[in-house]
């Protein structure tokens, strides 16, 4: 069963069993790269305060930096995971982070499924240690843990955020630009770091 998310102009996120006002909530972002920064910009438009955890502190005075993800989770209502998957970020959202986010917190993972310890997430949702979750990536894709399919406080979507015609065309153009740059010995527009 897939649930739909509504975010109306007043900034209300609607789940079947409860309403959460998104506006003015403290939002924590794990990974303030291109995607994390875009999320922060959109959340700011709803009056949310932004804090983040990243490998390095960014020269941004209007976002609060936490060098520890547990401290970030303690100080936000909504935690968005948007970092790249590395050995260091595998299961970066574990029981300690989930418990720091707490029973009124919402976890949103748009990064990679392996960022979240799924058995701990399921346990926290079932036990009420976490209010809800929004997921479009899963640890064992395309498989979704069965308990998540039955919970009313979870929004599940396939990883389709980039599946618009315009986005697919832009990605194809970017691939061609990278290939052209490579074969002409020029710097790549989007090098892999």
Active site residue 182: no
Active-site residue, selected from the candidate residues 34, 141, 182, 186? 141
Q: Is the peptide bond before 135 cis (omega within 30 degrees of 0)?
A: no
Active-site residue, selected from the candidate residues 90, 91, 95, 159? 159
Active-site residue, selected from the candidate residues 112, 115, 120, 139? 112
Q: How many residues does the chain have?
A: 193
Active site residue 159: yes
C-alpha 119/C-alpha 123 separation (Å) is 6
Active site residue 112: yes
DSSP state for residue 93 in the 8-state scheme: B
* H/E element, 23: none
Q: What's 112-178 look like in SS3? A: CHHHECHHHHHHHHHHCCCCEEEECCCCCCCCCCHHHHHCCCEEECCCCCCCCHHHHHHHHHHHHHH
Which residues have a catalytic role annotated?
Answer: 112, 141, 159
């Amino acid at each position: 069963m897939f649930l739909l998310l509504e975010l109306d102009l007043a900034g209300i996120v609607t789940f079947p069993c409860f309403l959460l006002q998104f506006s003015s909530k403290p939002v924590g972002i794990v990974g303030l790269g291109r995607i994390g920064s875009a999320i922060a910009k959109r959340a700011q438009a709803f009056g949310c305060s932004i804090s983040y955890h990243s490998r390095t502190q960014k020269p941004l005075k209007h976002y609060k930096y936490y060098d520890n993800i547990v401290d970030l989770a303690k100080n936000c209502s909504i935690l968005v995971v948007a970092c790249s998957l590395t050995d260091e970020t595998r299961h970066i959202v574990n029981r300690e982070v989930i418990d720091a986010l707490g029973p009124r917190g919402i976890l949103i993972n748009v990064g990679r499924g392996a960022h979240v310890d799924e058995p701990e997430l399921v346990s926290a949702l079932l036990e009420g240690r976490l209010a809800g979750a929004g997921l479009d990536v899963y640890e064992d894709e395309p498989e979704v843990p069965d308990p998540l399919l039955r919970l009313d406080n979870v929004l599940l979507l396939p990883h389709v955020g980039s599946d618009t015609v315009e986005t697919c065309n832009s990605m194809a153009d970017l691939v061609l630009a990278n290939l052209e740059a490579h074969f002409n010995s020029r710097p790549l527009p989007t090098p892999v770091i």
